[in-house]
Homo-oligomer: A and B are copies of this chain.
Amino acid sequence: MNVRPRPVAAEPVIPEGPSVRATCATYDLCVCRAASPAWTPPSDTAFDLQRPAHVVPARRIVFRENELNDAVPVICEGWAASIVMLSDGSRQILSFLLPGDLVSTALLFQSQTHCLVEAITEVRYRTFTHSELKASLFHNPGFFEKVSKAWLEEKARLDQLIVDLGRRTAEERIARLILGLQQRLARRGMVQPESMEMDFPLRQHHIADAVGLTPVHVSKVLSEFRRSGILKISDRSLTIVEPAGFRRIAHMR
């Protein structure tokens, strides 16, 4: 069932990019700035931005299950996915990670994960340590608020996914996935305000692994969406041509 070859692990390189700050700063959590114990809102010189970023090429594994030793990664640029592998090679994607995302808030409290993280596009990320983040949690009330808000959002997304997988049709699942991604990207200013166009680097097998279908069936559903003029997909870019109709499909039942 839906088996794909396993990508090899990546060895983290350590270069430094120019536009990291802008990308990272867009996100609510703002770990890159807020995690510093000495952080104050007006300050712009948080110590974390000076720390080097790791870069992983597309389709490589960022880290495996239980491979994390005390490191908490935050995505600075690019798309990734956290994935549970099954013993027959099939996979379930728990969540897509966008710029600014903590891999999971659970990592603040344990250093092991039962899922692996794989880069979808080239990914640039930074890591923090348990100890420094946990310290911030206690000494920086603003950071505590942001973490609990991040947890609430993570929980809401997991709950929604459970409902989708348990009680919705293939069309509904796919439509809801795309709408959810669009909303998250919009909050980051990554959707064209007028055309509603957005970068969409996901392969169809990513969609399949996220919504519990096969790539073949995803292809058929997407083709139907395009044929009916609701979506436009081309060249790793996606446009929701008829938002109202698309939302109707997604919210059905």
Q: Which positions in A face B, CB cutoff 8 Å?
A: 1, 84, 86-88, 90-92, 94, 104, 106, 108-110, 114-115, 138, 148-149, 151-152, 154-156, 158-159, 161-163, 165-167, 209, 211-212, 251, 253
Known: A114-B156, A166-B209. 5 other contacts (CB 8 A): A86-B167, A87-B253, A88-B253, A90-B167, A92-B162
Q: Which of the residues B106, B212, B251 comes within 8 Å of A155, measured between beta carbons?
A: B106
Q: Is the interface of A mostly helix, strand, loop or mixed?
A: helix
**How many identical subunits does the complex contain?**
2
Complex Cα distance, B1 from A149, in Å, reads 34
Measured CB to CB, the nearest residue on chain B to A173 is B166
CB-CB under 8 A from A91, the residues of chain B are 167
Complex Cα distance, B87 from A151, in Å, reads 26
Measured CB to CB, the nearest residue on chain B to A161 is B162
CB-CB under 8 A from A94, the residues of chain B are 159, 162
Pairwise interchain contact B211-A159, C-beta atoms closer than 8 A: no
Pairwise interchain contact A115-B253, C-beta atoms closer than 8 A: no
Q: Which of the residues B92, B106, B209, B212 comes within 8 Å of A151, measured between beta carbons?
A: B106
* Given known A92-B167, A166-B92, contact A114–B212 (CB-CB < 8 A): no
Identify the 10 closest CB pairs spanning chains A and B, nearest first: A166-B212, A165-B165, A109-B148, A88-B253, A92-B163, A92-B166, A158-B158, A106-B155, A84-B163, A92-B167
Q: Return A186 CB to nearest CB of chain B, in Å.
A: 21
Specify which of A91, A156, A166, A253 lies most central, judged by the most chain B CB atoms within 10 Å of its CB. Answer: A166
Pairwise interchain contact B212-A104, C-beta atoms closer than 8 A: no
Specify which of A88, A92, A94, A104 lies most central, judged by the most chain B CB atoms within 10 Å of its CB. Answer: A92
